[in-house]
A = this chain, B = another copy of it.
Amino acid sequence: MVDMMESLIDACLGLSSLDILVSGRIVDVYGGNIFDGFVGVKNGLIAYVGRNPKPAKKIIDFSSGYILPAYIDGHIHVESSLMTPSMFARAVIPHGTCCVIADPHEIANVAGLDGIKFMMEDAERTPLKFYFMIPSSVPSTNLETTGAEIGLKEIEALKRFKRILGLGEVMNYRGVINKDRDILDKIRACEGMIIDGHAPGLRGDDLCAYTLAGIGSDHEVISLDEAREKLTLGMWIMIREGSTAKAISNLINVVSRGCPERVMFVTDDRHAGDILREGHMDHCLRRAVEEGLDPIDAVRMVTIKPAEYFRLESLGGLSPGKSADMVVVSDLREFRAKIVLIDGEVVAKDRKYLGAEVKVEKSFASLMESIKIGELRLDDLRIRHPRRKFGKTTARIIGLVEDQIVTEEIRQELRIVNGEVKADPARDILKICVVERHRGTGRVGKGFVMGFGLKSGALASTVAHDSHNIVVVGVDDRDIYRAILRIREINGGFVIVNNGLILGELPLPVAGLMTFLEASEIAEKTEMLEEAAAKLGCKIKNPFMALSFLSLPVIPKLKITDFGLIDAENLKIVNLFID
């Protein structure tokens, strides 16, 4: 290591051979220029940038292509892809990504410190540079049973890992403004590190108070005014263009021409199928240029800008001494990656991953058997009226809003038959249950939901924000019960049942959240599940995603957890029946 500098200088001056010499049009993210030249690699680092060819062991000649620094995603929950970090890496590297900053919020809610350690260990198996933020809101409320907690002790333990950059999105902005000891102590524990924010619509004095805690970014911004106000207070804006939320078209004008100060693109979540069809950060680049952004500015927002914000000094630009992480693309409109290098190794070519095969490691046994539902009888799923045997009752029903994570509260009359209230598929009133699956308490939250359209059968899933208990929607208790039991058999995942038969499933054995399958297999299986659901009458394109947000008690208006129905605006449990 002492002689690293000497070795680079020799290769730069042509006194020894470079490992690789790449020729093409170099995109300079510092000065904002493009010039024909050469990038030389030695020992995994950039040893030369300039106009003169140099002796090299290997020549990569893309004279008509553009050489860019490889891309960085500044905020993503990898679990949303259903892939483990190492499998996620295989999917995104061919699209030019060299680094992601992941918030392992989902697995932390299931498996705490062990879950995060799994993510960090699995990340070691890939050339993709994974960094992690410590989830700040585990659990996010006391309105559900969570699998674990990330408190001060866990934060202290995690801070010591070099892959940890700071505290993940501080969603509890109300807590910060109210000076809740709990969240402020977590922030204090991460002093000097990066503190990411999450404060949709927060403005004015409250926003000012929020930034006083040292929170440096926000990816929840949706309006230009809000973005500008946040920039003025020194925050970084993460323009989110993921599988769910898409903000590029709204926010693109926050970037002054030639100057994307403190602005970057992130995805937040990215599904396997979308990565295959559209890509990852290259999709953000494509969308941004479509919206009229200068291509070099766009490139800056996925390279040098996130590197600056996260203080990743070896990443983000093609300059001497940095990691040799680069992408060659054929144009600055489609950004189709011809070749991707990470640490000077060719890791993808023509959209094909060339890195070493990932050896699936099933360590972390506890993560692989995470479904603990205790004893559950069919009878436990019945919804009984607390007082009456027959007649009618009015129920609070969750009203699904397609493509949104908010819900409505709908009030409908339902019949009581022999003390029980059932689903009414004719009116699209289905039954929904959340079964606690972390501690085997046997606790089940029960209610009704409108909007799925199922005529028969049941859909169950262990991907259910934030605690990832089992959420199941269905017409008939037997199918609901069967789906729950199947979920247990496969250690979590997605299941569709009809008349007692398993119509389809996608096992997610890692904490009930992720699989070791490849993106293409996941996409294929997800499509099959969607088709199966559609055959049962489901009118939602992506029913498992819709399902996953129905248990999220921090988003209005009516949600359900294992504790029962939740008034998410007032953060309290409410009765199913109004009368």
Residues of A that sit less than 8 Å from B by CB: 2, 5-6, 8-10, 12-14, 28, 30-33, 35, 47-52, 176-177, 179, 184, 187-188, 204-206, 208-209, 211-214, 228, 231-234, 256-259, 261-262, 308, 311, 317, 319-322
Contacts and interface: CB of A to CB of B under 8 A. Distances in A.
A381 to B, nearest CB: 46
A32 B256 CA distance: 10
Contact of A212 (B12, B14, B261): B12
Contacts of A322: 234
B14 A205 contact: yes
Given A212-B9, A319-B233, A205 B50 contact: yes
Nearest to A6: B179
Contact of A184 (B5, B10, B28): B5
A113 to B, nearest CB: 25
Contact of A177 (B2, B9, B188): B9
A309 B371 CA distance: 50
From A234, A256, A262, name the one whose CB has the most chain B CB atoms within 10 angstroms.
A234
A308 B321 CA distance: 20
Lowest 7 CB-CB distances: which A-B pairs, in order? A234-B319, A259-B259, A31-B231, A211-B320, A212-B320, A12-B209, A9-B209
A7 to B, nearest CB: 10
Contact of A50 (B13, B32, B47, B208): B208
A233 B32 contact: no
11 contacts: A2-B188, A5-B188, A5-B213, A9-B213, A30-B231, A30-B233, A30-B261, A48-B205, A208-B320, A233-B320, A311-B311
A208 B49 contact: yes
A232 B213 CA distance: 36
A30 B204 contact: no
B258 A259 contact: yes
A13 B234 contact: no
Contacts of A184: 5-6
A321 B211 contact: yes
Contacts of A233: 30, 49, 319-320
Nearest to A8: B212
Nearest to A33: B232
